Amino acid sequence: MKTYRRQDLVAIVDATDHIRGPLHAPITLVEYGDFECPGSRQASGALQILRSRYPEHVRLVFRHYPLESVHPHALTAAQAAEAAAAQGKFWQMYDRLFEYQNHLDTQHLHAYARDLGLDMARFVAEMDDTIYLQRVREHIESGKRSGVRATPTFFVNSAICDVSSGAELQHDFLTPDEGAIIGVTQFDEWLKHASTLRAEGLHFRPEPKEPDLVTRVPPARGPRKALSLNQ
């Protein structure tokens, strides 16, 4: 049985965050993730389904939480994503890093940056100087203060939700046929309340309920073959 804890997100979402979706969407889903974590990779696919189902009602926020003790490339990958963000291509790099999760060494990170059309002199210099390390560390610290212990960890409108893997995200948040968070019925109920309260100028914070569980989990696709380093 999945359990939920009420705990506020310590660092509120602001203009410095990486956001996908309408800025004033009634539902904000914040993820603390790790580019080398298989569960985070599975979650990224599930979130794409969520965005396609609720494009006007959900905004997704990604924050770094690399588990350095078990994922040796995660911290560098997080910095690569920040270096891409500095050139306006965070989400493109985000997609690439999860797509080729088994190939996150420096040479491949450079290849992905070239493929995205980044200014390579700038990218390499910023990576060598680790100028985005502090930003990644700030994400980690805010995650710890918010109760994050593993990846992926999600907050729905600032309320923490215990999901320990991407497979569980697919199982508990997404129905295989319709792709709805926490089951279609519960999410639609949250959305209705959020929209009503927003219209009244009030703040919405969902009270998590036991999800309408789905017993069938869609099979996860394995990582694709890495890009050629000559690209």
b/e 142-174 (16+ beta carbons within 10 angstroms → b): bbeebbbebbbbbbbbbbbbbbebbbbbbbbbb
pLDDT at residue 80, rounded to an integer: 98
Residue 155, classed as helix, strand or coil, is: strand
Q: Residue 181: its pLDDT value, please?
A: 38
Question: Are 124 and 84 spatial neighbours (Cβ–Cβ below 8 Å)?
Answer: no
Segments in the chain below pLDDT 50: 1-6, 164-188, 190-191, 193-195, 197-221, 228, 230-231
pLDDT at 92: 98
Amino acid at 95: D
Q: Which two tokens stand for residue 87?
A: 């050139």
**Residue 206, helix vs strand vs coil:** coil
Reference 151, options 30, 19, 20; nearest CA is 30
What lies within 8 Å, CB to CB, of 217 at 6+ separation is 167, 170, 171, 176
| Domain coordinates in residue numbering, the chain | 18-199
Q: Please give the CATH superfamily to which domain 18-199 belongs.
A: Glutaredoxin (3.40.30.10)
pLDDT at position 189 is: 52
Predicted pLDDT at 49 = 85
- Amino acid at position 8, single letter: D
- For residues 228 and 219, give the distance between their C-alpha atoms in angstroms, rounded to a whole number: 27
Whole-structure pTM value: 0.73
